């Protein structure tokens, strides 16, 4: 009696755990907290231990969720011949090439109507999974397309890959192909832990995924955060006669999802090439928000009959093409290293590079972050290095390429004095960067403080560019931010490339900038760690500058967004006599802002609501929208979760909108937001 019930319990519990695991790893939408999942898992382990003790190892099924932990260490991987070769894709790098492709397809399909399935091109490595009677029995790498390596033990450790398919209407043999990849967050965590263990870091998520999958010890693979999306079928045998496989690629995707296989949520069915280019632009725009790396998008003729009609060329289908994004990484030579002094005195080593085209622009400078990073990446002047420029992020040197290192490279050591003012550079124990101790004596720090003060999100002084600020400081016309308001027309027009007209314009812009808001003014002061949203929180909490000046550290920490470090920085800033002197000078120049009225709780219609803004707004500046939402009592957050109350989605909203829809969160468009603002 007891034995039967244990076996049954094991089965039921496995199913429950598989269900929750699928929700967590594949749908990204867990139903139960992690602690509850862990509890179920431990119960199953205990029951299985009982089964083994009772001499019933057969009750512990190989597809039990406990069997993902990795197995024996292999000596080598076995070769696997693919029953159907694994193909590659032709590439296109421009809209013109996509137009050529579309003309070829039109000809191949005798000008019939067709739809196109568009999906991201995942940057990982291809894999073929073989399910027999719904059970995963083999996973093989692509290899040369004809034969690859058997990495079944390793793939079994990837939670997104079902060990057993859901439902019962799958073919007797089902081969599914897709991409194994490492999500960005997992990659960053893995590299952090590699650094802590003094082990080699990975240059990018693709290398990390490949390195993790090709481990002879599957326990190592099990410890790596790998994920997978499926994108096509391989060999199929014994289809369910009542439910034959689908006729279109898009339907196959839906079918794969029904069987519990992971598919990319960004897949779209499109009507024409124009829509494809829009899809490309929109995915490119939202690339940095996706949780995984992609290197382009793939367009596939959707109808399987039409795919057959178009056929193949050597190793790639004629009915599909990869539309690649500009490469985000490139090789170049590190010519020299200079040191840049930031607004707060932080010294940053900057790599001067032989010009290289990367991420869509020509890059000649890239950050090296700090001395520890230079050492860790083993970078020497003269090295060939990998440069990365992802989206709008500052380009960085990822690593040096040792196999290309010439004989005459030079090691680099950060200076122990500021290269600009000669003051001592100090490094606190808990900081990665050393800092110039010159404060506002250092002209570099002064220049940066003034540039920050004048910048768009701060005082927004139109026409006061970086070069002009540098000239003013070098000519000793401006010593601090308040001097900006004392500039005369003659002083301005004596600067390089400044005439009467531009001097007049600048004077006007400086005058206009005096009408600001308390939040912008606080932000403009450049207090360490006080960014836009902290400045806004301080302004809303205290309403007046004098109140912020008076506040003590405990008080400051009551403000949302303000922790002990920020509170300390604010307090320190307002206790320094030279800062107070500059503040007085600024206020004397006529800077002012509208009074902030305290809103009664009942006037805060968004109190208790968490709001996320995504996409681009066309009628209102994003920061102003954010400020208004906060004023109405909302908490503005950067990412969508089940705690989000409303998502405000502007144009070209991407993954956040999708997630909000999936989670059933209220979505507003820009007009609805503006109506809300008007009605309050
Ligand atoms: S389809 C029959 N779809 O790109 C076509 N491939 O350059 C077979 N890849 O080896 C591939 N994302 O590793 C396809 N959405 C996607 C993809 C994708 C990434 C990789 C795959 C393939 C390589 C071809």
Residue in 115, 121, 451, 626 annotated catalytic: 121
pLDDT at 342 over 90: yes
Residues 34-72: pLDDT tens digits?
888 989 999 999 999 999 998 999 999 988 999 888 888
Say how far apart CA 320 and CA 119 lie, in whole Å: 11
The residue whose CA has the least distance to atom 16 of ligand 1 is 121
Q: Which residue in 351, 385, 389 sits closest to 368, CA to CA?
A: 351
What the block records as the tokens of 222 is 């099990």
pLDDT value at residue 575: 92
The topology under which CATH files domain 439-513 is: DNA polymerase; domain 1 (1.10.150)
Choose one of 92, 122, 316 to mutate for the ligand 1 pocket test, by most ligand atoms within 8 angstroms of C-beta.
Answer: 122
| Structure confidence at residue 433 (pLDDT) | 93
pLDDT digits (tens, 9 = 90+) for 467-518: 999 999 999 999 999 999 999 999 999 999 898 999 999 999 999 999 999 9
Q: How far apart are CA 388 and CA 366, in angstroms?
A: 8
Q: How far is it, in rounded angstroms, from Cα 366 to Cα 387?
A: 7
Q: Which of 192-201, 237-246, 392-401 has the lowest mean pLDDT?
A: 237-246
More confident residue, 674 or 393: 674
- pLDDT by residue (tens digit) across 379-406? 999 999 999 997 777 899 999 999 999 9
Q: Residue holding tokens 């820009």?
A: 670
| 641 C-beta neighbours (distance < 10 Å), count | 12
> Looking at the DSSP assignment, which residues form a beta bridge with residue 637?
612
Which of 121, 232, 268, 294 for a ligand 1 pocket mutation test, highest count of atoms within 8 Å of Cβ? Answer: 121
Average pLDDT over the chain reads: 92
Best mutation site among 87, 88, 142, 233 for ligand 1 pocket (most ligand atoms within 8 Å of CB) = 88
Radius of gyration of the chain (CA): 30
Are both 5-68 and 91-324 of the same fold?
no
Task: Kindly tell me if the per-residue pLDDT of 240 is higher than 80.
Answer: no
| Residue closest to 127 by CA, chosen among 310, 261, 305, 322 | 261
> What pLDDT, in 10s, does the model give residues 550-593?
999 999 998 877 889 999 999 999 998 989 999 999 999 999 99
Please state, as a whole number, how many other Cβ atoms lie within 10 Å of the Cβ of residue 215: 21
Work out the angle at residue 46's Cα, subtended by the Cα atoms of residues 41 and 47, and round it to the nearest 5 degrees: 100
Q: CA 303 to CA 231: how far, in whole Å?
A: 15
Average pLDDT over residues 218-235: 96
Domain boundaries, the chain: 5-68, 91-324, 328-404, 439-513, 518-588, 601-678
CA–centroid distance, residue 222 to ligand 1 (Å): 24
Cβ of 20 less than 6 Å from ligand 1: no
Residue 179 beta carbon below 6 angstroms from any ligand 1 atom: yes
pLDDT by residue (tens digit) across 422-439? 999 999 888 899 999 988
CATH of domain 601-678: 3.40.50.10190
| Residue owning the nearest CA to atom 23 of ligand 1 | 88
Question: What pLDDT is stored for residue 4 in this prediction?
Answer: 61
Residue nearest atom 6 in ligand 1 by C-alpha distance: 121
Q: Are 319 and 115 in contact (CB under 8 A)?
A: no
Of all atoms in ligand 1, which is nearest to the CA of residue 317? 2
CA-closest residue to ligand 1 atom 17: 121
119 lines ligand 1 (CB under 6 A): yes
- Note whether 624 and 636 are within 8 A (CB): no
CB of 91 closer than 6 angstroms to any ligand 1 atom? no
Instruction: Give the HSE-up count for residue 500: Cα atoms under 13 Å, Cβ half-sphere.
Output: 0
pLDDT, tens digit, for every residue of 458-479? Answer: 999 999 999 999 999 999 999 9
pLDDT of residue 2: 52
pLDDT above 90 covers a percentage of the chain that reads 73
Q: How far is the CA of 97 from the centre of ligand 1 (A)?
A: 18
Kindly state the tokens that stand for 613: 């803004």
CATH T-level topology, domain 91-324: D-amino Acid Aminotransferase; Chain A, domain 1 (3.30.470)
Q: Give the pTM.
A: 0.69
Q: Is 121 a catalytic residue?
A: yes
CB-side exposure of 322: number of CA atoms within 13 Å? 16
Expressed in angstroms and rounded, the spacing between residue 170 Cα and the centre of ligand 1 is 23
pLDDT (average), residues 186-192:
95
320 lines ligand 1 (CB under 6 A): yes
Give the pLDDT score at 198.
86
Determine if ligand 1 sits within 6 Å of the CB of residue 322.
Answer: yes
pLDDT score at 626:
84
| Helix (H) / strand (E) containing 396 | strand 396-400
Residue whose Cα lies nearest atom 13 of ligand 1: it is: 126
Whether the pLDDT of residue 165 is over 70: the answer is yes
Q: Quick one: which of 568, 574, 573 has its CA closest to 555?
A: 568
> Parallel, antiparallel, or unpaired for β 173-181 and 635-637?
unpaired
Q: Considering the domain 518-588 in this protein, what is its CATH number?
A: 1.10.150.20
What homologous superfamily does CATH list for 5-68?
Helix hairpin bin (1.10.287.610)
Residue 135, Ramachandran bin (φ over 0: left; ψ between -120 and 50: alpha; else beta):
beta
CATH class (in words) of the domain with range 328-404: mainly beta
Q: What is the pLDDT of residue 338?
A: 96
Q: How far apart are CA 268 and CA 537, in angstroms?
A: 40
Burial of 518 (0-12, 13-18, 19+ CB in 10 A): buried
**Rounded-to-integer distance, Cα 51 and Cα 150, Å:** 30
> Running DSSP on this structure, what letter comes out for residue 359?
T
Strand-strand pairing, 384-388 and 361-367: unpaired
657 phi/psi in degrees, rounded to 5: -65, -45
Residue written as tokens 């307090």? 571
Q: Do residues 409 and 383 make contact, with C-beta atoms less than 8 angstroms apart?
A: yes
pLDDT for residue 601: 59
Reading the block at residue 435, the tokens are 């800092």
Containing 279, the helix (H) or strand (E) segment is helix 273-285
| Atom 10 of ligand 1: nearest residue by CA position | 88
């Amino acid at each position: 009696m007891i034995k039967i019930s244990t076996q049954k319990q094991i089965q039921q519990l496995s199913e429950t755990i598989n269900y929750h695991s699928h929700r967590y790893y594949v749908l990204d939408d867990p139903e139960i907290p992690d602690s509850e999942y862990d509890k179920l898992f431990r119960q199953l382990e205990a029951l299985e231990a009982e089964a083994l003790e009772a001499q019933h190892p057969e009750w512990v099924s190989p597809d039990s969720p406990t069997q993902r932990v990795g197995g024996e260490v292999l000596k080598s991987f076995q070769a696997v011949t693919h029953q159907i070769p694994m193909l590659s894709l032709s590439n296109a790098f421009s809209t013109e090439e996509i137009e050529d492709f579309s003309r070829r397809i039109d000809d191949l399909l005798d000008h019939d109507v067709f739809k196109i399935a568009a999906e991201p091109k995942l940057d990982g490595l291809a894999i073929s999974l073989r399910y027999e009677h719904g059970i995963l029995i083999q996973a093989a790498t692509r290899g040369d397309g004809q034969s690859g390596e058997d990495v079944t033990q390793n793939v079994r450790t990837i939670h997104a890959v079902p060990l057993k398919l859901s439902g019962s209407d799958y073919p007797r043999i089902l081969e599914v192909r897709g991409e194994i990849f490492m999500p960005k967050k997992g990659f960053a965590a893995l590299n952090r832990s590699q650094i802590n263990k003094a082990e080699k870091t990975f240059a990018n998520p693709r290398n990390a995924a490949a390195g993790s999958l090709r481990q002879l010890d599957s326990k190592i693979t099990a410890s790596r955060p790998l994920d997978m999306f499926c994108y096509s079928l391989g060999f199929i045998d014994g289809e369910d006669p009542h439910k034959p496989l689908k006729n279109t690629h898009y339907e196959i995707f839906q079918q794969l999802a029904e069987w519990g296989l992971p598919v990319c949520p960004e897949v779209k069915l499109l009507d024409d090439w124009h829509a494809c280019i829009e899809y490309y632009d929109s995915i490119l725009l939202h690339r940095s928000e996706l949780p995984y790396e992609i290197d382009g998008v793939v367009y596939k003729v959707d109808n399987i009959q039409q795919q057959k009609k178009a056929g193949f060329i050597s190793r790639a289908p004629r009915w599909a093409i990869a539309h690649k994004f500009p490469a985000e990484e490139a090789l170049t030579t590190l010519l020299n290293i200079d040191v840049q002094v930031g607004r707060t005195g932080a010294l940053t080593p900057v790599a001067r590079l032989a010009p290289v085209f990367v991420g869509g622009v020509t890059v000649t400078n890239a950050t090296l972050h700090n001395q520890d990073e230079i050492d860790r990446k083993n970078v020497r002047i003269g090295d060939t290095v990998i440069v990365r420029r992802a989206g709008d992020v500052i380009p960085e040197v990822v690593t040096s390429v040792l196999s290309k290192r010439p004989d005459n490279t030079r090691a680099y050591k950060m200076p122990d004095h500021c290269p600009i003012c000669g003051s001592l550079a100090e490094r606190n124990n808990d900081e990665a960067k050393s800092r110039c101790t010159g404060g506002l004596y250092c002209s570099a720090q002064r220049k940066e403080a003034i540039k920050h003060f004048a910048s768009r999100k701060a005082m927004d002084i139109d026409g006061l560019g970086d070069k002009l600020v540098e000239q003013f400081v070098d000519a000793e016309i401006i010593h601090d931010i308040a001097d900006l308001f004392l500039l005369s027309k003659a002083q301005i027009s004596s600067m390089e490339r400044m005439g009467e007209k531009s001097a007049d314009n600048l004077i006007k812009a400086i005058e206009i900038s005096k009408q600001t808001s308390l939040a912008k003014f606080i932000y403009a002061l450049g207090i360490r760690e006080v960014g836009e949203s902290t400045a806004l929180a301080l302004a809303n909490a205290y309403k007046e500058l004098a109140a912020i000046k008076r506040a003590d550290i405990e008080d400051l920490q009551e403000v949302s967004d303000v922790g002990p470090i920020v509170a300390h920085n604010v307090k320190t800033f307002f206790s320094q006599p030279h800062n107070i002197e500059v503040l007085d000078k600024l206020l004397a120049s006529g800077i002012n802002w509208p009074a902030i009225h305290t809103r009664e709780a009942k006037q805060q219609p968004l109190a208790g609501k968490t709001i996320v803004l995504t996409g681009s707004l066309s009628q209102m500046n994003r920061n102003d929208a954010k400020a208004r939402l906060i004023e109405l009592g909302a908490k503005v957050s950067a990412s969508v979760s089940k705690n989000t109350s409303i998502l405000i989605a502007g144009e070209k909203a991407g993954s956040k909108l999708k997630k909000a829809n999936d989670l059933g969160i209220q979505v507003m468009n820009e007009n609805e937001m503006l109506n809300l603002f008007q009605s309050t």
